[in-house]
């Protein structure tokens, strides 16, 4: 099968996936202290419903969703609430978090029972997903139940599943597709039982052909009511970006400023589908996730299932410590991930990778030599260097003529700039200024 | 516990940086340069090249010091300017001439704010300055493999009445003329004569994705077709003078050429058109330098075009 892709732009980046791609997922036992930030999704922070010294069990709700754009948070261990206060947070810097001390008894909350579900409505499924605290596990942490409730005036016909894993270093989705094929397909069946899709397309970069085969063989063996197909994609970053993935798989182009619904698609990550399967079949909420701990500094890079809330220092210990002093610590992939200041931060729902890098990127900004590389590789077809020029001259509003707000922040422009101009930083500035000015008027 | 550095994403960079790109171009010039050194003798060529490179680097450093700009004299761009300029000089010119030329070239870049801001290709501005100020030196050509001055085929063509005199020079043997033109057994600038070297350099530039094919192809293609339309020998036209050198190494300069591939095709066409027109209508055998400099002026106009992004919808269509 010929690999599909999007155009224009995009490029292959040295992926360093060999470090972990053949390592089966290991189960890591949780440590003594765990932190549960109240912000683990885009939207309103959840509301803590436990107090200091409360005893909690695995799967127990410790923070409740506040409004529709919010989700529940569950304890991933049994133990006692030590404190609820501001702790370091990977994305927010500081955030309210619940500190739980593990009692190592691993007792499950009694309320968690295998539900007896035969048929579900769209509403019921959305409720289960929200109550189970499921958010997009690819990194964006967008509440999944919202994505699964398309507005009534649009016709959605395709479920697009992101198994591209185009970020360098990360291999957790690859391993999930290989080892948990059944759970992913089950998740798909559940979702398509409430939304009548014509087809389900799973996009996988062709450096994971084993995953493509595993899925397609599984689907052939187990008849599914909906038509499911894994499709190889070219190794080209950012193949997994929502709009690019839709284009690669369906040929449809999401118009500027619009959502995938507009072209009849819903996009979900493979790990998210696995979580949906767990929630519906076994009633287990989101208490753990698979992530890739890697980088040139870790002694033993691994794919591991980690309880949410686990501190990074525990993960480092589990991976045998360091062979090199890390300079930089990234949550997520190296292209779009977020730096962490220390190892005192916990694993979150969207933490797909923890990467320890010994080399800091070259930050010596030179002047633009007008090489055109940023234009050539931009997956949104923008002219990043112009946005930089205008932003430097504080002409923020003019950057809109160059569609600065369409930037998906994939980072390729900065990655490629031979003059080491942090192109994306300038674009971020212009975007937030444009939005600020829009609000004002 | 240790504290790690915080930067905004992305956290990795492509290894290719400005220094790498500049040096790649310099390396791709080596085959043509070595051809010239072999053909005209090292004594007439090597000093010109070395002095030119050194003086370009020093001028850049000094000017940046004086203008209180950040020092970037070792980023490979000044060295490249010096190298390019030397290769467009006739062999055996007095050694002070490239010094003057490079100072002017670097000056023309720094007054506009340095690398990236200069509207004109520095090496070509330097060369234009030399041609206009010291025409005698810049047009006294040396015969290959000897020290006697001669004329270039193009000069023969322009001054003595066309192809006949060129062919007379080769005793009427057309294949022999092509062969010697191709191998660089002719009068000309140091770097422009050895065509196999230039082609090899182009291959290096294309394979390393340093430049795109659009400018060289549309430039040479235009020269070929137009010369043919004007009744000239098209093969002779692209082999003679500095057309290939200019199309591969001068017109492709990032700073002074357009960025979008479509505009690059237009730009290459413009260079070719002007080049032929200068050859045909102006009283100048060579046209490459001024053709490209004129097109440098057009670049900002071409670059004004705004590219439509993915998912763009024409107003009112939806
Ligand atoms: S970060 Fe934005 S501007 Fe830069 S390449 Fe990606 S989409 Fe284009
Ligand atoms: S990649 Fe950097 S140097 Fe090249 S055009 Fe873009 S901003 Fe300028």
pLDDT tens per residue, range B81-101: 999 999 999 998 999 999 999
Handedness of CA A81, A85, A87, A89 (dihedral sign): positive
> Is residue B213 less than 8 Å (CB to CB) from chain A?
no
Give B4's contacts in chain A (Cβ within 8 Å): 326-329, 339-342
Residue B55 included in any domain: yes
Would you say how long chain B is, in residues?
Answer: 318
In this structure, what is the dihedral angle of CA atoms A340, A40, A332, A281, given to the nearest 10 degrees? Answer: 150
Residue nearest to atom 8 of ligand 1 (CA): A378
Residue B314 included in any domain: no
Task: State in Å, rounded, how far the first CA of chain B is from the last one.
Answer: 56
Neighbours of A107 (CB within 10 A): 16
> Is residue B5 less than 8 Å (CB to CB) from chain A?
yes
pLDDT tens per residue, range B251-275: 999 999 999 999 999 999 999 999 9
Give the pLDDT of residue A145. 87
Mean pLDDT of chain B: 88
Residue B214 included in any domain: yes
pLDDT tens per residue, range B226-239: 999 988 889 988 99
Lowest mean pLDDT among A44-58, B53-67, B168-182: B168-182
Neighbours of B63 (CB within 10 A): 19
> Is residue B18 less than 8 Å (CB to CB) from chain A?
yes
Residue B245 included in any domain: yes
Crossing angle between the packed helical segments A384-392 and A423-440, to the nearest 10 degrees: 70
Q: Provide the 3-class DSSP secondary structure of residue A82.
A: strand
Residue B169 included in any domain: yes
- Asked if B10's CB is within 8 angstroms of A424's CB, the reply is yes
Q: How many domains does chain B have?
A: 1
Residue B126 included in any domain: yes
Residue B4 included in any domain: no
Residue nearest to atom 8 of ligand 2 (CA): A368
Give the pLDDT of residue B246. 96
Q: Provide the 3-class DSSP secondary structure of residue A84.
A: strand
Q: CA-CA distance, A257 to A436, in Å (whole number)?
A: 17
Give B313's contacts in chain A (Cβ within 8 Å): 255-256
pTM of the model: 0.90
Q: Which residues pair with A93 in a beta bridge?
A: A89
- Asked if A366's CB is within 8 angstroms of B12's CB, the reply is no
> Is residue B4 less than 8 Å (CB to CB) from chain A?
yes
Residue B11 included in any domain: no
Closest partner CB to B259 (pick from A334, A337, A370): A370
* Spatial contact of A139 and A332, defined as CB atoms under 8 Å apart: yes
Query: Which mean pLDDT values do the consecutive 10-residue runs of chain A (441 residues) have?
Result: 88 94 93 89 83 91 86 92 82 81 89 76 87 82 85 88 94 94 92 90 93 92 87 94 93 90 91 92 91 94 95 93 92 92 88 93 90 95 94 89 91 95 94 87 75
* Spatial contact of B252 and B265, defined as CB atoms under 8 Å apart: no
CA A68 to chain B, closest CA, distance in angstroms equals: 29
Q: With bands split at pLDDT 50, 70 and 90, how would you rate the model's confidence at B161?
A: low
Residue B212: pLDDT above 70? Answer: yes
- What sections of A238-311 are H helices per DSSP? 242-250, 270-277
Atom number, ligand 1, closest to the C-alpha of residue A411: 1
Give the pLDDT of residue B164. 67
Query: What are the backbone dihedrals phi and psi of residue A253, each rounded to the nearest 5 degrees, phi first?
Result: -115, 120
Atom number, ligand 1, closest to the C-alpha of residue A427: 3
From the CA of A428, which ligand is nearest?
A: 1
Give the pLDDT of residue B317. 44
Segment (H or E) for B141: strand B141-142
From the CA of A388, which ligand is nearest?
A: 2
- Asked if B311's CB is within 8 angstroms of A409's CB, the reply is no
- Asked if B117's CB is within 8 angstroms of A335's CB, the reply is no
Give the pLDDT of residue A26. 94
> Is residue B316 less than 8 Å (CB to CB) from chain A?
no
Ligand 1 centroid to residue A320 C-alpha, Å: 37
A416-435 residues touching B, CB cutoff 8 A: 416, 418-420, 422, 424-425, 428
Q: With bands split at pLDDT 50, 70 and 90, how would you rate the model's confidence at B316?
A: very low
Q: What is the CATH number of the domain that holds B200?
A: 1.10.3430
Q: Is the model more confident about B145 or about B258?
A: B258
CA A327 to chain B, closest CA, distance in angstroms equals: 6
Q: With bands split at pLDDT 50, 70 and 90, how would you rate the model's confidence at B318?
A: very low
Domain that holds residue B85: 18-303
Cα–Cα distances (Å) from A100 to A33, A53, A58, A376, B188, in that order, read 6, 9, 11, 49, 81
CB environment A138-177: b (16+ within 10 A), e (fewer): bbebbbbbbbbbbeeeeebebbbbbbbbbbbbbbbbbbbb
- Asked if A366's CB is within 8 angstroms of B72's CB, the reply is yes
Ligand 2 centroid to residue B261 C-alpha, Å: 15
Domains of chain A: 26-112+285-357 (3.10.20.600), 113-282 (3.40.50.11540), 373-440 (no CATH)
> Is residue B145 less than 8 Å (CB to CB) from chain A?
no
Give the pLDDT of residue B149. 57
């Amino acid at each position: 099968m010929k690999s599909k892709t999007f155009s224009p732009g995009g490029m292959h980046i040295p992926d360093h996936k060999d470090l972990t791609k053949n390592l089966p997922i290991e189960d890591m036992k949780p440590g003594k202290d765990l932190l549960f930030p109240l912000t683990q999704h885009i939207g309103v922070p959840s509301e803590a419903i436990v107090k200091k010294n409360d005893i909690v069990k695995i799967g127990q709700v410790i923070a409740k969703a506040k409004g529709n754009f919010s989700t529940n948070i569950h304890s991933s261990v049994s133990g006692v609430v030590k404190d609820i206060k501001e702790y370091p947070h990977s994305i927010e810097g500081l955030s309210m978090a619940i500190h739980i001390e593990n009692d190592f008894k691993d007792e499950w909350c009694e309320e968690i029972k295998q539900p007896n579900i035969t048929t579900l409505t769209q509403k019921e499924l959305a409720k289960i997903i929200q109550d189970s605290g499921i958010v997009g596990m690819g990194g964006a942490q967008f509440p999944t139940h919202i994505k699964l409730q398309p507005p009534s005036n649009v016709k959605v016909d395709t479920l697009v599943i992101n198994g591209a894993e185009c970020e360098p270093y990360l291999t957790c989705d690859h391993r999930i597709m290989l080892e948990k094929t059944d759970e992913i397909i089950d998740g798909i069946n559940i979702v398509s039982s409430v939304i009548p899709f014509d087809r389900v397309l799973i996009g996988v970069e062709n450096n994971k052909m084993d995953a493509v085969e595993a899925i397609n063989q599984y689907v052939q063996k187990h008849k599914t009511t909906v038509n499911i197909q894994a499709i190889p994609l070219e190794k080209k970053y950012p193949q997994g970006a929502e709009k690019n993935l839709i284009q690669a798989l369906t040929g449809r182009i999401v118009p500027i400023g619009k959502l995938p619904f507009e072209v009849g698609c819903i996009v979900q990550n493979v790990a998210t589908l696995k979580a949906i399967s767990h929630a519906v079949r076994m009633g287990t909420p989101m208490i753990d996730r698979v992530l890739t701990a890697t980088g040139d500094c870790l002694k033993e890079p691994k794919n591991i299932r980690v309880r949410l809330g686990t501190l990074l220092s525990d993960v480092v210990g589990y991976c045998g410590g360091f062979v090199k002093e890390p300079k930089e610590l990234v949550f997520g992939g190296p292209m779009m991930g977020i730096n962490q200041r220390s190892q005192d931060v916990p694993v979150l729902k969207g933490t797909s990778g923890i990467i320890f890098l010994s080399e800091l990127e070259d930050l010596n900004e030179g002047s633009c030599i007008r090489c055109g590389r940023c234009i050539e590789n931009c997956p949104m077809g923008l002219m990043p260097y112009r946005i930089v020029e205008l932003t430097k001259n504080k002409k923020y509003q003019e950057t809109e003529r160059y569609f600065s707000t369409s930037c998906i922040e994939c980072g390729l422009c900065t990655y490629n700039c031979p003059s080491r101009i942090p192109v994306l930083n300038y674009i971020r500035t212009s975007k937030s200024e444009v939005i600020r000015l829009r609000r004002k008027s | 516990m240790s504290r790690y550095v915080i930067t905004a994403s992305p956290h990795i960079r492509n290894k290719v940086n400005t220094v790498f790109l500049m040096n790649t171009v310099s390396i791709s010039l080596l085959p043509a340069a070595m051809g010239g050194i072999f053909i005209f003798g090292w004594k007439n060529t090597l000093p010109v090249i070395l002095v030119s490179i050194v003086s370009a680097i020093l001028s850049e450093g000094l000017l940046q010091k004086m203008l209180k700009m950040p020092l970037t004299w070792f980023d490979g761009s000044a060295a490249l300017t010096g190298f390019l300029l030397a290769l467009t000089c006739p062999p055996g010119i007095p050694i002070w001439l490239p010094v003057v030329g490079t100072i002017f070239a670097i000056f023309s870049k720094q007054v506009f704010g340095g690398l990236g801001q200069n509207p004109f290709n520095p090496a070509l501005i330097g060369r234009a300055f030399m041609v206009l100020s010291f025409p005698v030196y810049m047009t006294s050509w040396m015969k290959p493999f000897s020290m006697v001055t001669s004329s270039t085929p193009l000069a023969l063509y322009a001054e003595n009445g066309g192809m006949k005199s060129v062919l007379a020079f080769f005793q009427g043997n057309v294949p022999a003329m092509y062969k010697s033109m191709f191998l660089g057994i002719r009068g000309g600038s140091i770097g422009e004569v050895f065509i196999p070297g230039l082609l090899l350099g182009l291959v290096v530039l294309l394979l390393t994705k340093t430049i795109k094919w659009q400018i060289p192809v549309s430039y040479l293609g235009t020269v070929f077709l137009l010369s043919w339309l004007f009744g000239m020998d098209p093969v002779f036209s692209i082999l003679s003078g500095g057309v290939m050198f200019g199309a591969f190494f001068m017109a492709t300069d990032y700073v002074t050429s357009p960025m979008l591939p479509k505009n690059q095709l237009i730009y290459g066409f413009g260079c070719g058109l002007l080049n032929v027109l200068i050859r045909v209508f102006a009283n100048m055998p060579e046209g490459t330098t001024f053709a490209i400099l004129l097109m440098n002026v057009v670049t900002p106009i071409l670059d004004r075009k705004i590219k439509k992004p993915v998912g763009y919808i024409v107003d009112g269509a939806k």
